[in-house]
Structure 1
Amino acid sequence: MLGLPKGEVFIVPWTSDWEKEYQLEKKKIEHIIGQYIVNVHHIGSTAIRDLSAKPIIDIAIEMKDFQDGEKCVKPLVEIGYSYKGTNVLPERHYFNKGEPRTHQIHMYQSGNRFLLDQLKFRDYLRDNETAKNQYAKLKHELSLVSNGNKHKYAEDKTEFVKSILERVNK
């Protein structure tokens, strides 16, 4: 299953189809804006084997120059993305695709601290079964009490994410 309707928060069991979907989308993105890209990363819970997740593929794009993100808007819109600007999160161009939402692009300049933290968190959970299981339990509990509020759901995960990043950054 892929896609999260507006106003809903739920998680589903991990599937290898998410990696396949990421690879297909990555090829499309590289084809249309590859000249601006340093690297493309599968991030978020769908990138972590056996971790239940909201059924949205999160893609981080590392850009040579943050300002080049503006040049990517029109080509990404042409393949179905909506541009949400840079004010959703700091130092990030944000795009989403579909209704229900199936993909999100988080576009950063190479070396951006928010991107680096996302990659560190992903990699830590990939390598640490205990932390991955703790995160899975937390996500499940929060999805049940968030009442469809994606901002509350995300905010309530913040302390766990910070605790992992503190370990990684020591």
Structure 2
Amino acid sequence: MGGVEALELELHDYDERWAGRYLDHRRRIRDALAAADIEIEHIGSTAVPGLAAKPIIDIVVTVADITAEEDYLDALLTAGYELRVREPGHRLVRTPARDVHVHLYERGDPAVDEYRLLRDHLRSDAADRAVYERTKRALLSTPWNDMNDYADAKTDVILAIKERARARRRQ
């Protein structure tokens, strides 16, 4: 929704305050959706201690039925978030300052497991954490007109890291 936006991408060294900001928004979301059966988790690079990141807190919220927007969307908009993405199986709301992104999926959606897989592996594997950070730093030497293009450019590295994470789980 809203089309391509101008963006400035820069990485910040890991900031311990990111965990606290997540907890603040977790409470805000939990309060807004008190009547809904939801799960909330901190995902993305700001959820990985020691990893440089764009200072955007990514949160995933799972709901019982993603198509039943009346169960969650109006409450999140009232809580101060703005709708940015509405696509099959996924909604994204964010703060007006664009510093918190809340991804909404239906419970059981494989995308949520993929977020967890990457996050948990990067938390425990210093070598892959370094590979991922080097990749992000290298990509930021290129100007990007759209966040999606930047995200797409990281895909091959992310897929390779997730494959190593899966192999490690199988051991």
Q: 1:78-93 to 2 correspondence within 5 Å? A: 78-87=78-87, 90-93=88-91
The alpha carbon displacement at 1:167 in A equals 2.6
Alignment partner, residue 144 of structure 1: 141
Q: Is the 8 A contact 1:8 1:150 kept in 2?
A: no
Pairing 1:121–2:129 present: no
Within the candidate set 91, 94, 103, 2:92 is matched to: 94
**Whole-angstrom CA distance in 1 between matches of 2:132 and 2:13:** 14
Alignment partner, residue 155 of structure 1: 152
| Per-residue Cα deviation, 1:70-89 (whole angstroms, up to 9, x for no partner) | 432211112221112422xx
**Whole-angstrom CA distance in 2 between matches of 1:81 and 1:6:** 20
Aligned to 2:93, the other structure's residue is in SS state strand
Q: Structure 1 unaligned runs (5+)?
A: none
The alpha carbon displacement at 1:148 in A equals 4.8
Alignment partner, residue 56 of structure 1: 56
- Letter paired with 1:13: D
- Letter paired with 2:72: C
| Per-residue Cα deviation, 1:81-122 (whole angstroms, up to 9, x for no partner) | 1112422xx5111111123x1110101111111111011000
Q: Structure 2 unaligned runs (5+)?
A: none
The alpha carbon displacement at 1:9 in A equals 1.2
**Whole-angstrom CA distance in 2 between matches of 1:139 and 1:52:** 9
TM-score (norm 2): 0.87
Q: Is the 8 A contact 2:6 2:146 kept in 1?
A: no
Aligned to 1:108, the other structure's residue is in SS state strand
Alignment partner, residue 105 of structure 1: 102
The alpha carbon displacement at 1:136 in A equals 0.6
Aligned to 2:9, the other structure's residue is in SS state coil
Higher RCO (Cα < 8 Å, 6 or more apart) = 1
TM-score (norm 1): 0.88
Q: Is the 8 A contact 1:45 1:52 kept in 2?
A: yes
Aligned-residue Cα RMSD (Å) equals: 1.7
Aligned to 2:42, the other structure's residue is in SS state strand
**Whole-angstrom CA distance in 2 between matches of 1:70 and 1:136:** 39
**Whole-angstrom CA distance in 2 between matches of 1:108 and 1:134:** 28
- Letter paired with 2:156: E
Q: Matched residue pairs, number?
A: 163
| Per-residue Cα deviation, 1:10-66 (whole angstroms, up to 9, x for no partner) | 111111100000001101110111332431000000000011111110000011222
Within the candidate set 113, 128, 132, 1:131 is matched to: 128
Q: Is the 8 A contact 1:83 1:95 kept in 2?
A: yes
Q: Is the 8 A contact 2:32 2:79 kept in 1?
A: no
Of stretches 116-125 and 138-147 in structure 1, the one that deviates more from structure 2 is: 138-147
Pairing 1:67–2:67 present: yes
